[in-house]
Structure 1
Amino acid sequence: MLTYVFENNGVPMYEQLYEYLKDDITKGVLKTDEKLPSKRAFARNNGISTITVQNAYNQLQSEGYIYSLSKKGYYVANLCSIRKLRADTKISLDIKLPPASAECEINLSNNNIKPENFPFSVWSRLSREVMSQKSREVLTPSPTGGIPELRSAIAEHLKAFRGMLIDPNQIIVGAGTEYLYGLLIQLLGSDRNFCIENPGYKKLKSIYSQYGANCVFADIDRKGVTVQELNRVKAQIVHISPNHHFPTGITMPADRRYEILGWANETTDRYIIEDDYDSEFRLSGKIHPTLFSIDGCEKVIYMNTFSKTLTPTIRISYMVLPIELANRFYRELSFYSCTVSNFEQYTLSLFISRGYFEKHINRMRLYYMRRRREVIEQLYKSPLNDSMELIENESGLHFLLKLKTDIDDETIKRNLLVKKIRISPLSDYYMSGTAVSHNFVINYSCLDTKKLGKVFEQINLLLKNQPHNL
C-alpha cells in the first residue's frame, strides 16, 4: 500500500497527495497500467479523508496521468513520452540565430532615436490618465482599423500638417508598417507586380516576397522614379518615398509627381504606395504636399509611422486608403484584430489631440537642425574636407557623403569596422543593376557628435593609405 508523509505547510492535502503520486508516476515507481489503491483503503492507510483522495485522483486523471475503468478503479496511464527532467538538466536547442553585429563605438548607419528625446513625463501622465479614466475602454476590443479616437486625432493632424482631407475610417492603424504592408498585399492581391525603387529599402523586398508577391525594381534618376522605368518593369503597384527618398535623400519635384499620378490612372489595376515616413523633419522651406492630397483619382495609399517622430519601439503605424479600397478592406479583411494595444492607442490619441505631438515635432525639428549643422560643420573642418562631397537636401535625418577615392565600398566598410566604426555605402541598397560607388549614408539622429572628429580622421587615414596597410 502506498504511504506518504503529509506536512502542515499550508498546502492542501489533496495537492500534496497529487504531487506525490505524479512524482512516482513520472519517475516510473508506479508502472503503466498499475492499479492504484481504492479511495477508501488509500485514505485509511494514510489517515486522510476519501474526499482528499478523490480530489487528487480527479486532478491526475484530468491531466492524463491516470485513467479509470468503470467499477474497477484507477490505473496508471502510459506516459512513455513524458520524462521528469532533473534540476541540473541542460536544455540544448538547435536554433540558428542570425549572426550578431560586430561591436562598434560609433554607428553612422544607426537611425534610432535617442532615449532622452522621448517625452517621458507627458507620456507617463497621459498613460496614468488612460488607466484611471478609460479602464473599461482599454479592456474593450478595438475595431479592426483602430479606436475611433486615435483615427480622428490622426485625421486632424494630417489635415493641419499635410493638407489631407480624409474620413477617419480611411485610416488603418497597425503595429508597424511591415504588418500594414502584409495587409496591403492581401488587399491588392499577391499576383500583382510590386515595384520598389532601386536603390531603396531592401526590407520591402523581403516582406513582399514572403507574402508571395512578385517584386520588380525601377531605377531612379535625380528626380526619383520615372514612368519609363515603371513601364519597363511592368509595375502595377509602386512603392515610393517622394518627399524624402531613402537612401538617396531625393525629393521628387511637382512635375514628376504628376507624371507618376498620370501613370497610375492609365489602368484600373495600378496604385501608388506613398511612404511619408520622415516628412515631418524637413529642416528648411515648406514641406511638399503629399501625393495623396493632389490625387484626384483615388490611386494613392498613404503610409506613415510614429517610429521617427516618437520612437521605433512604440510600434504604431497607419495607412490611409482611398475610399474604394477602404470599403474593400472592411468587406474582406475586417476579421483581422487591430494589432496595437488599446492602452497605447488611447495614450497616443490624447498625445496628438491635446497638442503635445505638434510641440514634440517642433522641438525635435530644432534639435535635428542643430545636430545636422554640427555634424556638417565638423565634417568641413576635418582633414576629410578635401576628399569628400556632401549630398543633401535639408530633409529627413540622413544625408550622403561622397568620398573621392578609388578604394571600393566594401573595403572601406570592412576596414572602418575594424576600427569599430560602422558605415553603410549607398551600394548596399541596390537590388539590381550597377550601383553608384563611393557614396555613404550618414544617419545623424543618434550620433555621438563628440566622437565624430575621430571618425573623420579614421576615414581620411583610410583614403590616404592602401587598404592592406590598415
Structure 2
Amino acid sequence: MNLFTIAFNHTKPKAIQLAEAIASDINEGKLKKNDRLPSKRALANHLGISLNTIIHAYELLLSEGYIYTIEKKGYFVYDNALRKATNKISFSKATKKPEGFKYSFKTSNIDSNLIPTNALKKIYNEVLKNNNYFYKTDFSGDISLKEAICQYLYEIKGICANSDDVIVSSGIDSLLPQIIKLIDASTIAIENPGYKKIENIINYTNKKIIYQNIDSEGISIPQKRVDLIYTTPYSQFPLGIKMSNRRKNELINYANENKSYIIEDSFDSDFTLKPFITNSLYSMSNNVFYIESFSRSIAPSFRISFMLMPPKLSAKYKLLHKGFSNPVSTIDQLVLAKYINSSFLNHINHLRTSLRKKRELIIKNLDLKLFDILYNESYLAIIVRPKHMIPKIKEMLADNQIDISFIADFKDDHKSDLIMIGYSEISLDKIEDGIALLNKIFRY
C-alpha cells in the first residue's frame, strides 16, 4: 500500500485533482484489482491536506465505480480491465451544459458533476460483454431488476415487497394512467400546492380533480369520497413537508372506509433530512400503490421508475396488460439491477453529503433580515418567505441570471408569497455568489 504523491495546483479543487490522479493510476494499471488504498488519515497526513478532502476524493471514486469499500478494512480497487481503452477521466465535467441561467436554484435537475457516469459505463460494458440482453423482458420488468428493487426497499426503507408485485416502467406518465384505468377512478385528489405534471396527466385522462391543501402534517383528508389520492409523503413537493404518522393513519382509515386507493409517490425519499424510520403507506394497507423513480438519484435522462402493486390487484393488472411490452430496454434494466446491487447506496450517500454542504452554505449566506425560513426538511430545497415582495421580481431575477421557483406556480389559485430555493442542480462553487445576488435583489 503506497502513499500517493501529487503536486496540487489552483485549476481545480484538491479533492478532484486527487481523485483524478488515483483514477489515472487505476486506468494505467499502476493500481490493480483489489489493491488497498491508503487510509484516509494516513493519506491526509502524507499530503498535508484536510481529512475532508481525502473523504471527498474517495467518495468521488466510489460513486464513479473505481473503488469499493469493506467496513473496518478500507478502500480497494475495482477491476480496471474494462478501462484500458478509456481516455483520461475528468471528474470536473466532460459534458457541456446547455446555455441557460448562471444560477439555477431549481430542483428539476441534478448537479451534473454528481452523475455517476463512469460507474454506469463500467456496468454497461459488463452487460454488453456478457451477451445476456437478447431475450425479451417480461412486460412487468426483468426479474433481476425486480428482485434488486425488493432488496433495496427492504434494506433501506423497511418495505417488504414481492417481486411479483413490482412493475418496471419509464415514469409516472405511463404508470398513473394505468392505475386510473385499473381501478376505474373518476375522481382523484391531489396535493395543493403540488406537482403540476400530475395535474396535467389527470386532465389528459378527463378525470375530475379534487385539490387538497397541505398543512404541517401533509395532505389534508378529503371531505367527500374520492376514488384515488395522490400524495408525496416523504418530502411533499414543493414544500418538502414530511407526513406525520397521525396523518398517515387518518389517510389509511379514509381509504379503508371509502374503498379508495392511494398512490404513495416516494418523491425524494432518499434525500429527506429526517431519517426513514416511519412505516410507508404501502406497508400499512392493501389499498396503496407505491411509486419511485431513479431519475432524481441517478440522472434525469435515466428514465426508469417502478410501481409496487397492491397484491390483490396484481392478477387483474397482468390480465389487462397481457401481451404488452415493457417500455424500458432490457439493457437499461440489467444495468440498473447491477448498479443497485453494487454502488447505488454509496452513490446516494455521496449525493446526501454534497447536498448537505450546499444546504448549509445557502443557510449561512442567506440574509435572514430579508427572508423567513419556513420549511427546511428536504435535502433539495429550502422554502422561504420574503419579508418584502418586490414588484416584477421574476423579471429582476431573470435579468440577473437567477432561475428560481415560486410556490404560487404550483397552486390551483396561483396565490402564494413563498419561494423555493432549490440546490440539487447548482454547483457548490456558485452558491455564495448566487445567494449574494439574491440578497442584493431583495434589498432593492
TM-score (ref. length: structure 1): 0.70
Q: Which residue type is aligned with residue 334 of structure 2?
A: Y
Per the TM alignment, residue 286 of structure 1 is displaced from its structure 2 partner at its CA by: 4.4
1:332 to 320, 337, 344: 320
Cα deviation code 1:132-169 (max 9, x no counterpart): 21x2x412111011010000000111111111111101
User: Is 1:275–2:265 an aligned residue pair?
Assistant: yes
Is the 8 Å Cα contact of residues 187 and 333 (structure 1) preserved in structure 2?
no
Q: Which residue type is aligned with residue 343 of structure 2?
A: Y
Is the 8 Å Cα contact of residues 223 and 253 (structure 1) preserved in structure 2?
yes
- Three-state SS of the structure 2 residue aligned to 1:304 is strand
User: Is 1:462–2:441 an aligned residue pair?
Assistant: yes
Report the aligned-residue RMSD: 2.0
In the TM superposition, 1:68-79 aligns within 5 A as: none
Identity of aligned residues (%): 27
The residue that corresponds to 1:237 in the other structure is 228
Is the 8 Å Cα contact of residues 372 and 444 (structure 1) preserved in structure 2?
yes
Is the 8 Å Cα contact of residues 283 and 365 (structure 1) preserved in structure 2?
no
Is the 8 Å Cα contact of residues 145 and 173 (structure 1) preserved in structure 2?
yes
2:207 to 205, 209, 213: 213
Q: Which residue type is aligned with residue 368 of structure 1?
A: L
Q: Unaligned regions of 5+ residues in structure 2, if any? A: 1-97
User: Is 1:109–2:97 an aligned residue pair?
Assistant: no
The residue that corresponds to 1:224 in the other structure is 218
Cα deviation code 1:414-434 (max 9, x no counterpart): 2211222122111111014x7
2:365 to 363, 378, 386: 378
The residue that corresponds to 1:318 in the other structure is 306
Is the 8 Å Cα contact of residues 106 and 424 (structure 2) preserved in structure 1?
no
User: Is 1:435–2:415 an aligned residue pair?
Assistant: yes
Is the 8 Å Cα contact of residues 105 and 426 (structure 2) preserved in structure 1?
yes
- Three-state SS of the structure 2 residue aligned to 1:391 is strand
2:237 to 243, 246, 252: 246
CA distance in 2: counterparts of 1:241 and 1:110, whole angstroms: 15
Change (3 A) 1:396 1:459: closer
Cα deviation code 1:250-306 (max 9, x no counterpart): 1111011100000000133x10100102111123544433111222xx011000000
Is the 8 Å Cα contact of residues 279 and 395 (structure 1) preserved in structure 2?
no
Is the 8 Å Cα contact of residues 237 and 273 (structure 1) preserved in structure 2?
yes
User: Is 1:167–2:162 an aligned residue pair?
Assistant: yes
Per the TM alignment, residue 457 of structure 1 is displaced from its structure 2 partner at its CA by: 3.9
User: Is 1:198–2:192 an aligned residue pair?
Assistant: yes
Cα deviation code 1:393-432 (max 9, x no counterpart): 3334112021101435xx2122211222122111111014
CA distance in 2: counterparts of 1:451 and 1:166, whole angstroms: 41
TM-score (ref. length: structure 2): 0.74
Q: Which residue type is aligned with residue 220 of structure 2?
A: T
Change (3 A) 1:170 1:311: same
Per the TM alignment, residue 436 of structure 1 is displaced from its structure 2 partner at its CA by: 2.7
Is the 8 Å Cα contact of residues 108 and 442 (structure 1) preserved in structure 2?
yes
The residue that corresponds to 2:128 in the other structure is 131
Change (3 A) 1:102 1:399: same
Is the 8 Å Cα contact of residues 361 and 432 (structure 2) preserved in structure 1?
no
Q: Unaligned regions of 5+ residues in structure 1, if any? A: 1-100, 466-470
In the TM superposition, 1:297-446 aligns within 5 A as: 298-353=286-341, 355-379=342-366, 384-407=367-390, 411-432=392-413, 435-437=415-417, 439-446=418-425
Is the 8 Å Cα contact of residues 359 and 379 (structure 2) preserved in structure 1?
no
Change (3 A) 1:124 1:450: closer
Q: Which residue type is aligned with residue 361 of structure 1?
A: I
Work out which of the two has the higher radius of gyration on C-alpha atoms and give 1 or 2: 1
